[in-house]
Structure 1
Amino acid sequence: MFSNLAIDVALGLIFIYLLYSLLASIVQELVARLFNARARVLTKALRRLLEDDDRSSDLGIFGRFTFFNWFYELGWSVVYFFAPFQHSPFLKKFYQSPSIRYLGENSASARPAYISPQIFSQAMVHLLRGQPEGHPSETAAIRESLAHNTLKLAPDTLTHLRNLFEDAHHQVPAFRVNMETWFNETMTRASGWYRRQTQVWLLILGLGIAAAFNVDTIAIARILMKDKNVRQQMVQLVANREPSYTALTDTLLRKNVLHRDSSYFRQDTSVNMMFKDTALLGVYAILRQDAGDAKNVLGIRRDCVTDTTGGKKQLHCGFTHPYQKNGWLVLAGWFITALAISLGAPFWFDLLGRVVKFRNLPPQTASSNPGV
């Protein structure tokens, strides 16, 4: 077994980051499901796809700057939160089509969080075809709809659909395949949008969790470096808990709470709310227990003490550990923890496995294989 100070300190910190990243991921997913965040990002992607939704030109010369664009888009995000089909007549028709309307889980989540490429192309063909009884064929109906823009499509969207129809040589099956490819490309970008949104939420939640649980990276690192007994207890805790975290991580992956890739829009996103899900409640309970065990090992906590100096009893509440006497360093430690949590639990889970594997190697093997 290969063990030294740096490896053991790193192991303790990685375990702490994994533990609180899992907690933050569960809370973030709860918030996302309460606000139907995936469905809202999917609607945003379809708005960009079908409505030429690019309002940066409204800012004039300021639209060239990312700073102004960010605040402008934030303002429109608030508008679209309450009125998702504002200035989007065709998008409203799309969501009202039978192929899409009944995909929502319930009245509170009327818009689906996932649409397959096949359902997208089917809904588009149905809208473009209209009532085909008066036309000799489905192809003729779509051709006439695109030629006369009977659906009042946005100019760029109409041009693109016409090009896709021409590329398909006016064959409806090939036209559907072209639209599915177009849809998949947009969903890849939408996954990136949702991933960035998730990272922002994890950063905010991470800062709140770090403050609430007093997860001070700087103080933890100093304790692990200075106190051999604490370091050994933390390594032992990691060794005992690391195998069970494989099962916990697998559970959260199956529940679509964690993601190892960018596929944030998948078939299995329709699940029960978190407070109805006993498996996730069990994971949360285990994590809270582990968080308590880690705090007990490290000895970092808040407490209230009674000061009788001067003959008067005064109650003082604050940090009890000597490594947390500097308030600015505590804030910095919380912020570092929040940044670590924002990287996501899968990152720390994979890194923990690598470090544990490296630490368990014989000294000769470890020194000759530093990249393990």
Structure 2
Amino acid sequence: MFSNLAIDVALGLIFIYLLYSLLASIIQEMAARLFNARARVLTKALRRLLEDDDRSGDLGAFGRFTFFNWFYELGWSVVYFFAPFQHSPFLKKFYQSPSIRYLGENSASARPAYISPQIFSQTMVHLLRGTLEENQSETAAIRHSLTYNTLQLAPDTIAHLRNLFEDAHYDVDRFRANMETWFNETMTRASGWYRRQTQVWLLILGLGIAAVFNVDSIAIARILMKDKNVREQMVRLAASREPSYAAVTDTLTRKNIFHRDSSYFRQDTSVSMMLKDTALIGVYAILRQDAGDAKNVLGISRDCVTDTTGGKKELRCGFTHPYQKNGWMVLAGWCITALAISLGAPFWFDLLGRVVKFRNLPPQQSAANNGV
């Protein structure tokens, strides 16, 4: 076995980051389900696809700056949260189509979190052709709708649909295939939007968790470097929890809570891939217990003590560890923890596995691997 101070300290920190990253991911997933976040991102993608949703021009010269655009988009996100079809008449009609409306789970989650490319193209064809008149072909009906823009589509959207129809040489099946390709390209971008949104929430949750649980990276690193007994206990705790965390991480990845690629909106997560909320709560309880064990090993906590200085009894609450006397250093330690949590549990789990594997190598083999 190969072991030294730096590796053991790194192993302890990685275990802490993995533990609280898993905890943050579970909380974020619960919040995402509560607010139907996936369905909202899908609606945003369809709005961009079908309604030319680009309002950066409203800012004038300020629209060139990312800073102003970010706040502007944030404002519209609040508007769309309460009124998802604001200024989007065709999008509302799209969601009211039977093929889309009945994909929602229930009245509280009326909009689906996933639409297949085939359902998208089928719904678009149904809307474009409308009710066929006697002896009218489907191709003629779609061509008439696109030529005269009977659905009042946005300029860029109708122009693109006309191009797709012409590229298909007015063949409906090829037109559907072209629309499915268009849809898939947009869903790839939507997956990136959701991942970035998740990372922002993990950063916010990470800071909250660091403050609530007092996960001070700077103090933890100092404790692990100075106290051999604590360091050994943390290493044993990390080694004992790695197999169970492997099962949890694998399950959450398969259930699509963790995203290792950009294929989220191409998988049917509405039924077979959904993890029940009771299971999430069970995993949360296990992680809370592990967090308590790690906290006890490290000895970092807040407490209230009675101060009798000056002959008066005063109850003072605050940090009890000598490495947490400087409030600014504690805040910096929390911020480091939040940034680490935002990297996600899969990153820390993979890193933990590599460090544990390296640590368990015989000294001669580890030296050979390093070219010594």
Report deviation, 1:272: 11
Report deviation, 1:264: 3.1
AA of the residue aligned to 1:21: S
AA of the residue aligned to 2:269: D
- Matches of 2:279 and 2:17 in 1, distance apart? 22
1:267 aligns with 2:253: no
- 1:203 matched residue in structure 2: 203
Report deviation, 1:306: 0.9
Alignment RMSD, CA only? 1.6
- Matches of 1:349 and 1:339 in 2, distance apart? 16
Output one character per residue of 1:178-224: Cα deviation in whole Å (capped at 9) or x when no partner: 00000000000011111111111000000000000000000000000
- 2:292 matched residue in structure 1: 292
- Matches of 1:312 and 1:270 in 2, distance apart? 63
AA of the residue aligned to 1:231: R
Matches within 5 A, 1:183-332: 183-265=183-265, 266-269=267-270, 277-332=277-332
Report deviation, 1:232: 0.5
SS in 2 for 1:187: helix
- Of 129-138 and 231-240, deviating more is 129-138
AA of the residue aligned to 1:268: T
Kept in 1, the 8 Å contact 2:195–2:259? The answer is: no
- Matches of 2:41 and 2:270 in 1, distance apart? 13
AA of the residue aligned to 1:106: N
AA of the residue aligned to 2:255: K
- 2:351 matched residue in structure 1: 351
- Matches of 1:364 and 1:321 in 2, distance apart? 39
Kept in 2, the 8 Å contact 1:210–1:334? The answer is: yes
AA of the residue aligned to 1:347: F
Kept in 2, the 8 Å contact 1:12–1:234? The answer is: yes
Kept in 2, the 8 Å contact 1:256–1:269? The answer is: no
- 2:35 matched residue in structure 1: 35
Kept in 1, the 8 Å contact 2:118–2:180? The answer is: yes
Kept in 2, the 8 Å contact 1:306–1:315? The answer is: yes
Q: Which runs of 5+ in 2 are unaligned?
A: none
- 2:14 matched residue in structure 1: 14
Report deviation, 1:271: 8.3
Report deviation, 1:313: 1.2
Output one character per residue of 1:237-256: Cα deviation in whole Å (capped at 9) or x when no partner: 11111111111112222333
- Of 202-211 and 255-264, deviating more is 255-264
Report deviation, 1:284: 1.1
- 2:334 matched residue in structure 1: 334
Kept in 2, the 8 Å contact 1:30–1:273? The answer is: no
- 2:175 matched residue in structure 1: 175
Output one character per residue of 1:307-351: Cα deviation in whole Å (capped at 9) or x when no partner: 122222111111111101110000000000000000011111111
Q: Which runs of 5+ in 1 are unaligned?
A: none
Runs of 4+ in 1 over 6 A off after TM superposition: 271-274
Change (3 A) 1:242 1:7: same
- 2:154 matched residue in structure 1: 154
- Of 251-260 and 263-272, deviating more is 263-272
- Matches of 2:108 and 2:74 in 1, distance apart? 23
Matches within 5 A, 1:353-368: 353-368=353-368
- 1:61 matched residue in structure 2: 61
Output one character per residue of 1:144-172: Cα deviation in whole Å (capped at 9) or x when no partner: 11111111111111110011111111111
AA of the residue aligned to 1:264: Y
Kept in 2, the 8 Å contact 1:26–1:284? The answer is: yes
Kept in 2, the 8 Å contact 1:252–1:280? The answer is: no
Report deviation, 1:104: 0.7
Report deviation, 1:281: 2.0
- 2:2 matched residue in structure 1: 2
Please report the TM-score for the alignment, with normalisation by the length of structure 1.
0.96
AA of the residue aligned to 2:207: L
Report deviation, 1:135: 4.8
Kept in 2, the 8 Å contact 1:135–1:141? The answer is: no
SS in 2 for 1:134: coil
- 2:141 matched residue in structure 1: 141
AA of the residue aligned to 2:137: S
AA of the residue aligned to 2:335: F
- Matches of 2:333 and 2:272 in 1, distance apart? 36
Matches within 5 A, 1:38-49: 38-49=38-49
Change (3 A) 1:184 1:278: same
